[in-house]
Amino acid sequence: MPAQAAPVDCARVKCLALTFDDGPGAHTPALLKTLAKARAKATFFLVGKRVEERPEIARQIVARGHAIGNHTYSHAELTARLDGDILDELKVTQEVIEKATGRRPDMFRPPYGRTDERVLRAAGEAGLSEILWTHTTLDWSLKDTAKIKATVLKQARRDGVILMHDVVPQTVRAMPGILKELRKRGYHLVTVPVLLRGERPKPGVSYF
């Protein structure tokens, strides 16, 4: 277990949760360096098959004190799947992530934000809470470092959850400037569990 700094109390200070979906990818190590330099923590929603391709990077994410969640095995649109398939997508990913990192997630995020009662029920069965977001940057379509930075800074607000992608190289390149400005504005960059005031997210419950 990595040494933990004193926990941030988001009831007292201005917190913001940056979240990165779809990795681990080739640009994730650079992002981890940037986050470490700024002493910022984030939450990564990992795709099972990408964890199989890059287990070492998944391990690094955890070792550096970030939170991880399940983002399905194949980045599946879960609402279009049968109940059994939904459960498989979630459960296989739990196994893959646990094998790579030694940690079993208790959070998941549905690809494309596509969720319904069946998805939530399967999540509950897999021991997972559903973590959505307050703002999405659409960084994958912006593909422009300056625009991504401007979008994040415009969306930032206390207790927000911002959705980005560590597989978008422009996002990773924008991050040093984003972190610098957020810090100037007094934000503490925390993981989703810290943002939830240390209250353990409950299986089958949707947040944000």
Catalytic residues: 21, 165
Query: CB under 5 A: which stretch of 3-11, 23-31, 111-119, 188-196 binds Ni ion?
Result: 111-119
Q: Is 111 in the site for Ni ion (CB under 5 A)?
A: yes
Nearer to Ni ion, 10 or 170 (CB): 170
Residues 134 and 90: their CA atoms lie apart, in Å, by 23
- Shortest Å, Cβ 71 to Ni ion: 6
| By the rule CB under 5 A, 130 interacts with Ni ion | no
Return the number of the residue (22 or 139) whose C-beta is nearest Ni ion. 22
* Pairing assessment for the beta strands 160-165 and 15-21 based on DSSP bridges: parallel
Closest CB to Ni ion: residue number: 21
Among 15, 16, 18, 21, binds Ni ion (CB under 5 A): 21
Measure the CA–CA gap between 61 and 68, rounded to whole angstroms. Answer: 8
The letter for the amino acid at 127 is G
Residue nearer to Ni ion on the CB measure, 22 or 106: 22
When asked if residue 89 is in the footprint of Ni ion (CB under 5 A), the reply is no
In angstroms, rounded to a whole number, what is the distance separating the alpha carbons of residues 22 and 8? 27
Distance of CA 175 to the CA centre of its chain: 15
* Residue 24 binds Ni ion (CB under 5 A): no
Q: How far is the CB of 19 from Ni ion (least distance, A)?
A: 10
Alpha-carbon 112 to chain mean position: 14
Q: Say which DSSP state 5 is in.
A: P
Stretch that binds Ni ion, among 13-21, 31-39, 126-134, 172-180 (CB under 5 A): 13-21
| 22 is an interface residue for Ni ion by CB under 5 A | yes
Q: How far is the CB of 203 from Ni ion (least distance, A)?
A: 21
Three-class DSSP category at 111? helix
Please state the φ and ψ torsions of residue 198, each to the nearest 5 degrees.
75, 0
Q: Which stretch binds Ni ion (CB under 5 A): 103-111, 140-148, 156-164, 191-199?
A: 103-111
Which CA distances in Å does 20 have to 13, 85, 129? 23, 24, 17
CA-wise closest residue to 30 among 64, 2, 3, 77:
64
Binding stretches for Ni ion (CB under 5 A): 21-22, 111
